[in-house]
Structure 1
Amino acid sequence: MGQLLVVKGDPVQGTDQHNVKGTGPNPAAPPPTATYVGIGDYAYKGSVTEALSTFVTIAGTPVALVTSHSGLDPGEDAPGGGHVGSAGGNFVAGPGTVALIPTVDDTLQITDKPLGTGVPNSAAGNALLTVGGVRVLLDGDAIDTCSGLGKAADSTVTAHGQDFVTCSG
């Protein structure tokens, strides 16, 4: 069985890494707070939103290409979302920084810009199916999200917007 083609709005989920800085409770107090600079892992929850095919649609929805982009879902980069400050995990302190266990009250901030953009990994798509010479994005393809600090292909796209057009090969 073939893989479903991805269309506008299909979800992109995974984990990426970001540079972070801030202050928070000092595990070796005094003083009661410590400065933190390091890297943390963040959940990426977004969808394919930009640079879609203007030529091919499935049931009226534009097809996603390997040149398409994803963006974070609304609220993910706002307070309470999964892509902000202390919402991360697996924090690794930078040189000369006290290890910090972030809390809801800390001032931890993601310092990478731009935040939220995902691009298909170089291995995404199928060379046999193209639109204008550009490979079409397929269900399960790897997406490199945000700044690319972390592992390559740290998120994947899932075809949800259509369930009848597939690519085999």
Structure 2
Amino acid sequence: MVASVGQSTMSSKLRIFKGQLQWKLARSDPTENDSVEGLRPNARGPGLVTFGPDRVMEFCNNNDLQLIVRAHECVMDGFERFAQGHLITLFSATNYCGTANNAGAILVLGRDLVVVPKLIHPLPPAITSPEASPDHIEDTWMQELNANRPPTPTRGRPQAVANERGSLAWI
């Protein structure tokens, strides 16, 4: 009887540990770009980390993987590549929580297992007035969407910035 109580307690502790580990793995994020390596505290919560491309590459090499696909982080373009393409963050919910104005994405496996992202753009808002022109609403909505939605930069690549005339330039 004493042995079974000990096993039950150990089994319970192992389940708790596995649950905590799964929580931390699901909510830890890549660093802001490929040049930031190692592990760092994550603003999303205690015990969570951001991990650099070096950690992704080490994990892929140790486990004979070429690609990791992760989710559970809203990215503006629906997907984001990291660690020279060895990690992809995928987010399929458009306009997350009705406020993010983000695109969603799905991944399609092409020939030779080439990963091809397909974007899903948010729908325009419903027409609330019969006098409103659908074309006008869609044009206005798209302008507002693009004005309020900062582009998600491709990790490890140059970012576009607006110059004084409002056009984009690469830095």
- TM range, normalised to the smaller chain? under 0.3
**Larger-Rg structure:** 2
**More strand as a share of residues:** 1
| Structure ranking higher on relative contact order (CA contacts 8 Å, 6+ apart) | 1
TM-score between both structures, scaled by the size of structure 2: 0.22
TM-score between both structures, scaled by the size of structure 1: 0.22
